[in-house]
Amino acid sequence: MTKLLQWLLGVSLLVAVWALVTWDLLDLSLPDTYRDVAWPMPLYLLVSFGCYSLATVGYRVATFNDCEDAALELQQQIKEAKDDLKRKGLKM
Amino acid sequence: MASRKTSHRIRENGDKYSVLLPTYNERENLPLIVWLLVKYFGESGHNYEVIIIDDGSPDGTLEVAEQLQRIYGQDRILLRPRAKKLGLGTAYIHGVKHATGNFIFIMDADLSHHPKFIPEFIQKQKEGNYDLVSGTRYRGNGGVYGWDLRRKLISRGANFLTQVLLRPNASDLTGSFRLYKKEVLENLVERCVSKGYVFQMEMIVRARQLNYSVGEVPISFVDRVYGESKLGGNEILSFVKGLLVLFATT
Ligand SMILES: Nc1nc2c(ncn2[C@@H]2O[C@H](COP(=O)(O)OP(=O)(O)OP(=O)(O)O)[C@@H](O)[C@H]2O)c(=O)[nH]1
Ligand SMILES: [Mg+2]
């Protein structure tokens, strides 16, 4: 199953459950509080997922390692390599 | 004494590592990356070869490669040039055909990928007998150098979106510093059709699809010092397109 299908399946399941509760499609005569909680649920989910995404990406950007040492080491080694290669007869 | 024992054991197990270096206008970087490869493979004692796949670079990369071959020997440095620029994907296919190792390293020749991590890749691979080991900038001590806030944001954002949509079992999908078992690379590269960044992503997503095991090694990625980036242009757009294609097909 492709990821697209997995997503469609998941979303339609959620929508089905949501519709069932919100409009009481099966005549289960659920208490009103169920409906009151259920109907704005998609919005809540979207907003919290959005917040989660922003927070996660923001945190990861802020904590993205800056490899200063790696850059310095490379500069050093470039010098070393150039000298050694020149000695070995490389013409750049 | 102990170290002699280790290198002896390594030689006995018969593993050979072929490093594929695709180059396009890397005249300045190529000698440096080769020098570093020779240094670190020499220190670790693993058997290796470097295969340079130059796509007719107008800057004379091939001529430099020939000099390097003279310096380091024809059994260490193999030249498998092609007449014109045919892209990275086919460069790997071309290179693998000529590889004599049972393991293949893929890395950029622009010094963004440092050969000092090679022993860690090899150790990781042995630890779990992984089918492929992928370098990651997003985990542990991994990281980048020379990126501004905007580039970090795009990178992290794109990575997050990809993780959500594709749930691959790897943290760095667009990185291209990887170690493959030869037959795994051959199998994967035949199936992958994308170009540019998306190619690397497709490789690892298809690896998940085919149930290959993936290990990860944190790497530092230092932006290229010499030469120009070739993947430029409307990268973001083609990335999103490629992501959606993979979303619908894997
Ligand atoms: N043989 C071959 N090599 C290529 C081709 N395009 C790019 N390369 C090489 O592939 C590696 C990665 O390309 P880069 O231009 O560095 O791409 P990038 O890392 O996304 O871009 P930067 O941010 O500039 O480093 C380098 O070693 C290039 O020389 C090609 O068409 N043929
Ligand atoms: Mg690069």
SS3 for B207? helix
Domain limits, chain B: 2-249
The verdict on A29 and A48 lying in the same domain is no
- Residues in chain A with CB shorter than 8 Å from the CB of B225 are 74, 78
| One domain, residues A45 and A90 | yes
Whether residues A18 and A28 share a domain: the answer is yes
Query: Are the C-beta atoms of residues B199 and B88 closer than 8 Å to each other?
Result: yes
pLDDT digits (tens, 9 = 90+) for B39-74: 999 999 999 999 999 999 999 999 999 999 999 999
For residue B73, give the 3-state DSSP assignment: coil
Cβ pair B4, B210 in contact under 8 A: no
SS3 B144: strand
SS3 B181: strand
Rounded Cα distance between A83 and B12, Å, is 34
Query: Is A70's CB within 8 Å of B111's CB?
Result: no
Answer yes or no: do A44 and A31 share one domain.
no
Judge if A73 and A91 occupy the same domain. yes
A18 and A60 assigned to the same domain: no
Q: Could you tell me if A28 and A8 lie in one domain?
A: yes
Task: Indicate the class that CATH gives domain B2-249.
Answer: alpha beta
* Ligand 2 centroid distance, CA of B150 (Å): 18
Model pLDDT for residues A4-57, shown as the tens digit of each residue? 999 999 999 999 999 988 888 888 888 888 888 888 999 999 999 999 999 999
pLDDT at residue B196 in the model: 73
- To the nearest whole percent, how much of chain B has pLDDT over 90? 80
CA distance A50 to chain B (A): 12
Please check whether residues A4 and A28 belong to one and the same domain: yes
Domain count, chain A: 2
Pairing of strands B77-79, B47-54: parallel
Residue A17's domain comprises: 1-39
Residue B136 has pLDDT above 90, yes or no: yes
A31 shares its domain with A45: no
Amino acid symbol at B61: T
Is the minimum CB–CB distance between A76 and chain B shorter than 8 Å? no
Q: Is the pLDDT of residue B232 over 60?
A: no
Does A35 share its domain with A49?
no
Best of A90, A91, A92 to disrupt the B interface by mutation (most B CBs within 10 Å)?
Answer: A90
List, for residues B161-188, the tens digit of each pLDDT value. 999 999 998 999 999 999 999 999 999 9
pLDDT surpassing 60 at residue B1: no
Task: Indicate if A61 and A87 belong to the same structural domain.
Answer: yes
Nearest residue (by CA) to ligand 1, atom 22, is: B229
Whether A33 and A69 map to the same domain: the answer is no
User: Mean pLDDT of all residues in chain B?
Assistant: 91
At residue B37's C-alpha, the angle toward residues B228 and B136, to 5°, is 65
